[in-house]
Structure 1
Amino acid sequence: MTFLDVVFYLFIFVVSIQIIFQIFFFGKFAVIKSFKKKSTKVGVSVIICAKNEAENLEMFLPSVISQKYPDFEIILINDASKDNTLEVMESFQNKHDHIKVVDVKNVEAFWGNKKYALTLGIKVAKHDYLLFTDADCKPVANNWISQMCSHFDDSKTIVLGYGSYKKIKKSLLNKLIRFETLQTAITYFSFANAGLAYMGVGRNLAYKKSEFFKANGFVNHIKVRSGDDDLFVNQIATSSNTAICFSEDSFTESIPKTSFKNWYKQKRRHVSTANYYKLKHKLLLTILYSSQLLFWLLATLLFTQLFNWQIVLGLFLFRLLAQYTVFILSAKKMEEKDILFLLPFLEIFLIFTQLTIFINNLVSKPNHWK
């Protein structure tokens, strides 16, 4: 058996893995429809942790305050900001009775630790249902709280939402950021739909306060700078307690990074938390990423050598067709259809960007959240 024979059979194996993921994981999510549940109208505490976010709070907090929901409070956590974040929070508090402000000072044991600040905010929340977003986020609709919290019931104590990024015209970086966000959402929604919930995003995440205290909060990973959202969900999520919410009115929208350097640093922090996931999740995600990387490497090698090129081309197109079908249906759900025409380029660029992130994170650890 020649070297190219080995490459060819390995390529068939890799394509098979990719098809299994596309059909049995991502495909099942792609075809399900969002359904409107009757809201239980439970009391909700919306929690926003901010560090040096005065301008963003002034811009986006009104969209949270104006939510059409009968019983909610807003917990604003000032995490040792150096700007006038605290003053902005207090000015909103003076105008609205349902706003509480928690002013967190740096302490030596938890210096620059967002999880410490969040814990203090969660402790003062009066409701058992907690809904999280960031200071640079805004709900896209005034029934965001209603949409997200309608998925709570006796068995569902975690709700995963979608945190989109604002569209910027004629920006390739913006399309890359939104593609990565969409791909990540497809993955965590699909896995949760299959009973394998492994993460959520703090821009749009809800869970019961009782779950937080049952898990002793963030204590299991308090020394890990990132992961107040994905690591916590990875810790407490089960096959039966997690719901997904992807109705259009349930989205939040954030301000994206405008330089590749800043986005790269942000992704380094996010990727670093994956080392602490449960073993089954790490294995699945490693298989998924490795098969994506090998698909493009092996296909390129086989095409350049014209080795069984008719079969290779057929498998190549079949995998792309399966992927495009999933992305078209999923992008329609998440209002991200404008990035589809760049799909192959964005996927390849993202795969190799992630590879450099993995290597960099092995050499040095990324910094804390801000």
Structure 2
Amino acid sequence: MLVSIFSLFIAVVCIQFLYYIVVFGKFSFAKPQNATPKRIPISVIVCAKNEEENVKNFIPILAEQDYPQFELVLIDDASSDETLELFEAFEKQYSNIKLVKVENNEAFWGNKKFALTLGIKAAKYEYLLFTDADCYPTSKDWITKMSSQFTQQKTIVLGYGAYDRIAGSFLNKLIRFETLLSATQMFSWAKIGKPYTGVGRNMAYKREEFFKTNGFIDHMKIRSGDDDLFINQAANSSNTTVCYLPESFTYSKPKTSFKEWFTQKRRHVSTASHYKSFDKIQLGLFYISQFLFLVLPIILLLFQYQWIVVCSLIGFRYLFSWVTLGFAAGKLKEKDVMYWFPIIEICLIFIQLNVFISNTFKKPVHWK
């Protein structure tokens, strides 16, 4: 029995090595990215529902981007607070703002995809750049840097959506480490030619990609997934690229309570069951190997079975994973979270297991 567990443990370490060095290394060890400004007309699209505090602070940052030709499409998704009134005030203040008002629709109530579809159709330009109402770019060159990665062939650009730092908060480090790991996976698989996800906080695509897939129609009834399910369906090795230039990052306020963050994670994870088969397999294999890497050595060490080899493999695995994620953290300006590795990683693995169990019995439904 112990021989089988030991053999499985060796296999798990090998799988982890392949993921971290072979797959994630495509992004982590990649050269710094270059930017060649394209200056193509851009429509920036922001969908908001009950976001009056955020839009008050962040819309001016978006409207005042240093870019020669762009419009800002603001979509009010039937807000019940002052979001619409603020949008109307901004529309009068900035000549490059276009307002889309979404009324409650019984068939699509609470569905962000319906609201986004109206905004995409109303957009003036063919190249679309998306962010959320609670997000803000790090610089006035956000549009310039994201659009710089478009080419004739590359019509989908995946960007990095980060979270603000909160000093002294372990939850904040946990959230940001999870975001770092997810981004490393997203960018790495896209570089390999197997893009599978994107984040609505920061991504861009040409409108023709939206219509090629008939928009969100295949997953309109799934409340989440306006970003990852669309990318999973529309992206491929030919049309997709990534942007990790620091000036292209967006930031948003992270959750400050574990319950709120856990609910958010459940909503995000719920869409993964609708991914393509290969993507579900590779994601499942990675997280299973993560979990087994924690469990199997405990059993082996309790029985002191090949303990020197087991400890050596544990150290080897943490060395290559720490180095790989460390390089990724450097690119994404998240180095401070690596000081808490592997404590954060261990916590995250068990939280993800809890999310999976919770979603098995009850799935979240609304985006707001």
- Superposition TM-score tier, normalisation by shorter sequence: over 0.9
Which of 272, 278, 281 is residue 280 of structure 1 equivalent to? 278
Task: Report what 1:134 is aligned to.
Answer: 132
Mapped to 2, the partners of 1:368 and 1:297 lie a distance apart of: 35
SS of residue in 1 equivalent to 2:237 = coil
Counterpart of 1:226, as a letter, is S
Task: Report what 1:176 is aligned to.
Answer: 174
Deviation at 1:37, TM superposition (A): 2.2
Aligned length: 368
Deviation at 1:351, TM superposition (A): 0.8
Deviation at 1:315, TM superposition (A): 1.1
Task: Report what 2:95 is aligned to.
Answer: 97
Task: Report what 1:5 is aligned to.
Answer: 3
SS of residue in 1 equivalent to 2:196 = coil
Mapped to 2, the partners of 1:300 and 1:146 lie a distance apart of: 50
Q: TM-score, normalised by structure 1?
A: 0.98
Task: Report what 2:253 is aligned to.
Answer: 255
Mapped to 1, the partners of 2:236 and 2:25 lie a distance apart of: 21
The equivalences for 1:162-201 within 5 A come to: 162-201=160-199
Task: Report what 2:339 is aligned to.
Answer: 341
Q: Deviations over 1:257-294 (max 9, x none)?
A: 00000000000000000000000100010111100000
Which of 226, 237, 240 is residue 238 of structure 2 equivalent to? 240
Deviation at 1:35, TM superposition (A): 2.0
Deviation at 1:300, TM superposition (A): 1.7
Q: Deviations over 1:113-145 (max 9, x none)?
A: 000000000000011100000111100011000
Task: Report what 2:359 is aligned to.
Answer: 361
**Contact map agreement 1:34 1:245 (CA 8 A) in 2:** no
Deviation at 1:34, TM superposition (A): 2.8
Which of 200, 208, 211 is residue 209 of structure 2 equivalent to? 211
Deviation at 1:367, TM superposition (A): 2.8
Mapped to 2, the partners of 1:144 and 1:77 lie a distance apart of: 20
SS of residue in 1 equivalent to 2:162 = strand
Which of 307, 316, 320 is residue 314 of structure 2 equivalent to? 316
Structure 1 stretch displaced more, 187-196 or 32-41? 32-41
Which of 112, 115, 119 is residue 113 of structure 2 equivalent to? 115
Deviation at 1:9, TM superposition (A): 0.4
Mapped to 1, the partners of 2:365 and 2:299 lie a distance apart of: 38
Alignment root-mean-square deviation, CA: 0.7
The equivalences for 1:11-50 within 5 A come to: 11-50=9-48
Task: Report what 2:79 is aligned to.
Answer: 81
Mapped to 1, the partners of 2:295 and 2:238 lie a distance apart of: 38
Moved over 3 A (4+): none
Deviation at 1:65, TM superposition (A): 1.2
SS of residue in 1 equivalent to 2:118 = helix
Deviation at 1:33, TM superposition (A): 2.2
Mapped to 2, the partners of 1:164 and 1:294 lie a distance apart of: 29
SS of residue in 2 equivalent to 1:154 = coil
Deviation at 1:36, TM superposition (A): 2.2
SS of residue in 2 equivalent to 1:238 = coil
Mapped to 2, the partners of 1:119 and 1:367 lie a distance apart of: 19
Which of 63, 66, 87 is residue 65 of structure 1 equivalent to? 63
Q: Deviations over 1:322-347 (max 9, x none)?
A: 10111111101111111111111111
Structure 1 stretch displaced more, 305-314 or 171-180? 305-314
Deviation at 1:66, TM superposition (A): 1.5
Mapped to 1, the partners of 2:105 and 2:60 lie a distance apart of: 31
